[in-house]
Amino acid sequence: MIFRGRGIWRQYSGKLRRFLLAHTKRGRVYIERMLPYRRGECARCGTCCYLGHRCLFVRFENGLAACTIHNHRPQNCRMYPVGPRDIAERDLLDMGKPCGYSFVEIPPGEPRNPFARL
Ligand code: SF4
Ligand code: SF4
C-alpha cells in the first residue's frame, strides 16, 4: 500500500536532488561512482513513480508498474536509485514492498554527493 503524503518535503527534496545530479557534470560523476555499490534490479513496484505525486505516465498491469514513456523517460528516472537515501525516501511511501535495488556498505564520506544538503 502506498502512503503518498508521508514525508512529502523529503520526497520533493529527493526529486530535486536527483534532478540536479542527473543534469550537472559533477552530479553525473557522482552517479558513476555510486553505481558499483548498487545491487539488484527493478521489481516494478512503481513506488518511486509516486514520489511527491503520482506520475501521469505510470500504469499497472497484473500488479506490475509500467512506464508508458519508458524509452523517453527522464534522466532522473533512468538513474534511480542513486544511493541509499533514495531508497529510504521511497520507503516512506511503501515499506511493505521493498525496492528491488539495494546498496552495499559505502565507505564513510565517499563518494561525496555534491547535493547532499537537499
Ligand atoms: S521503487 Fe525500486 S523496484 Fe520499485 S519501481 Fe522504483 S526502482 Fe523499481
Ligand atoms: S516517467 Fe515513467 S519511470 Fe518516470 S516517474 Fe513517470 S512512470 Fe515512473
Report the C-alpha gap between 98 and 110 in whole angstroms. Answer: 25
pLDDT at 24 over 70: yes
The pTM assigned to this predicted structure is 0.92
pLDDT at 1 over 70: no
Average pLDDT over residues 59-84: 96
pLDDT at 109 over 90: no
Q: Tell which one of 4, 11, 38, 45 to mutate to probe ligand 1, the residue whose CB is within 8 A of the most ligand atoms.
A: 45
Q: Could you report the per-residue pLDDT of 25-62, keeping only the tens digit for each? A: 999 999 999 999 999 999 999 999 999 999 999 999 99
Q: CB of 65 within 8 A of CB of 17?
A: no
* Chain mean pLDDT for the chain: 93
Distance in Å, CA 58 to ligand 2 centroid? 6
Tell the residue number behind the cell numbers 565507505, with chain if given.
Answer: 107
